[in-house]
Amino acid sequence: MSSTGIFWIREDFRIENNPALSYATQNHENVIALYIYNNNDFDKKREAQKWWVSKSLESLEKELSEFKINLEIVKGDEIEIFSKFNKKDKISVYWNKIYEPDVINKGKKIRDIFIKNEISYKYFKGNILTEFQDVTKNDGTPFKVFTPFWRNAEQIYLNQPPSKNYTVKKKTKKVSYFKKCIEAKNILPKNNWYKKFEKYWKVSENDSKKILKNLIDNKIKDYGTSRDIPSIEGTSKLSPYIKHGQIHVSSIWKKCSEIKSKGIGYRKYVNELGWREFSHSLINYFPEFLKGNYRKEFDKFPWVKNEKFLKAWKNGLTGYPIVDAGMRELYETGWMHNRIRMVVGSFLVKHLRINWIEGEKHFRNCLLDFNKANNVAQWQWVAGCGADAAPYFRIFNPILQGEKFDKEGLYVKRWIPELEKVPSKYIHKPWEMDLKYQEAIKTIIGKNYPKPIVIHEEARAAALQAFQYLKKS
């Protein structure tokens, strides 16, 4: 136990249920927690997540300090940094897996470096219930449809032996290893738009536990219906914490399994975990899924390039309140209600016929809970070009979606204050208000709030026509 163990942090900002951290503290006298900030992974791609990572590092540093473990943040490329390690350093490196093809490939290169330089290393199961390669059909091929995948994955997970109790052993002193370390605040985006996030989020492992407890105690029984109502806190809002590993999905599963009365709310929520597992399976078995259409016939789809419409969509200025409310919620909070994600996604790819890749890029940059597998899978599901996707001709009507899930317009009015005085009868179609009434409430459509950039019926017809072209090609 004379050597130093390095816990390499990636997406595992927690103490509990952390195999790599536990192993390092159990097997080494000295332990250092290392986070490598590679700006190429973030700049102009994941700007919102810079804030969450910065806050995660701040809270984890305090938590690790209680165990006499030093957190060191190094800026650079992982391969270059690890290439400098050699046998005489007497160090061992431990990490938890991430299930993304590019990350896996980089991990292989790093392992080759360690083997060449005689560096001891060990990696552990990541933030997932079941390893994707363990869930296959009887013939060994991967599932392409969610329901049979999840039915099998659940059984495999349930049949696994109970996970170990990964305890963290307190050290006697803090030690340092790396030079030129940076502070957590150095990771923050240059643009201060992220400062609004602090109104909506508390970032720590302990906060994730509180949110989970609230889910189990108060939300999950009604989750089947409440999850679709954007004006209430009906969803768990655990997704950013899962993404960054403040909590492990097995901890969530365990708490869910302890519920005595497992109604439809329980099943609906657990299925959300299943979709996450399914998405990771898809991108690993079909890595081309990350770069383009899973259904290759969509490569010939007549997408429209319209920067004006794309900008209006991003800024929440399409003239469709439920769409605009969602896009403004995203920019304000770094998160968007799941029902609304489907609505705004459908609007982009079907009403505007703009390639889903543009939407995926924007979400990647703005979402605090951005997960590569989930984001691509959700966008391809909406666009109709993914595995087990919604058919293209399923076009969400933004007016009817608003009237069904935001009947009184509470969600819309929260994010679009210029529509505050619009009665619920017109809140999802304010252009139908008489001009004199618009003037009376000082909400002129086309002045105080934009007119619809496309007409729903016309846009729907154009989308269906484009789909017919696809079938002929």
Is residue 2 over pLDDT 70?
A: no
pLDDT digits (tens, 9 = 90+) for 116-138: 999 999 999 999 999 999 999 99
> Which CATH number do you get for residue 71?
3.40.50.620
> Taking all residues of the chain, what is their mean pLDDT, rounded to a whole number?
95
- Tell me, yes or no, whether 276 lies in a domain: yes
70 lies in the same domain as 136: no
pTM, two decimals, is: 0.96
- Tell me, yes or no, whether 440 lies in a domain: yes
Is residue 155 over pLDDT 80?
A: yes
CA dist 245 and 266 (Å) reads: 22
User: Would you say 399 and 407 are in contact if contact means Cβ atoms under 8 Å apart?
Assistant: no
Range of the domain at 277: 127-163+205-285
Range of lowest pLDDT (181-195, 333-347, 417-431): 181-195
301 lies in the same domain as 245: no
CA dist 104 and 97 (Å) reads: 8
3-state secondary structure of 119: coil
Q: How many percent of the chain have pLDDT more than 70?
A: 99
pLDDT digits (tens, 9 = 90+) for 365-378: 999 999 999 999 99
CA dist 51 and 189 (Å) reads: 7
- Tell me, yes or no, whether 254 lies in a domain: yes
| Phi and psi at residue 51, to the nearest 5° | -65, -50
- Which two tokens mark 230? 């954007």
Is residue 433 over pLDDT 90?
A: yes
* Mean pLDDT, residues 440-456: 97
Is residue 159 over pLDDT 90?
A: no
Is residue 3 over pLDDT 90?
A: no
239 lies in the same domain as 273: yes
155 lies in the same domain as 279: yes
- Tell me, yes or no, whether 182 lies in a domain: no
Confidence (pLDDT) at 272? 95
210 lies in the same domain as 118: no
- Tell me, yes or no, whether 290 lies in a domain: no
Is residue 262 over pLDDT 90?
A: no
pLDDT bracket for residue 214 (50, 70, 90): very high
242 lies in the same domain as 136: yes
Q: How many percent of the chain have pLDDT more than 90?
A: 91
- Tell me, yes or no, whether 94 lies in a domain: yes
Q: What is the DSSP string of 239-257?
A: HHHHHTTSS-HHHHHHHHH
455 lies in the same domain as 377: yes
Where is the domain boundary, 251, 285, 319? 285
Strand order through the sheet with 30-37: 70-75, 30-37, 4-9, 91-96, 120-124
Instruction: Please name the residue that has the structure tokens 């968007």.
Output: 336
Domain total for the chain? 3
pLDDT bracket for residue 162 (50, 70, 90): confident
305 lies in the same domain as 391: yes
39 lies in the same domain as 21: yes
User: Would you say 208 and 238 are in contact if contact means Cβ atoms under 8 Å apart?
Assistant: yes
386 lies in the same domain as 449: yes
Confidence (pLDDT) at 1? 47
- Tell me, yes or no, whether 200 lies in a domain: no
368 lies in the same domain as 399: yes
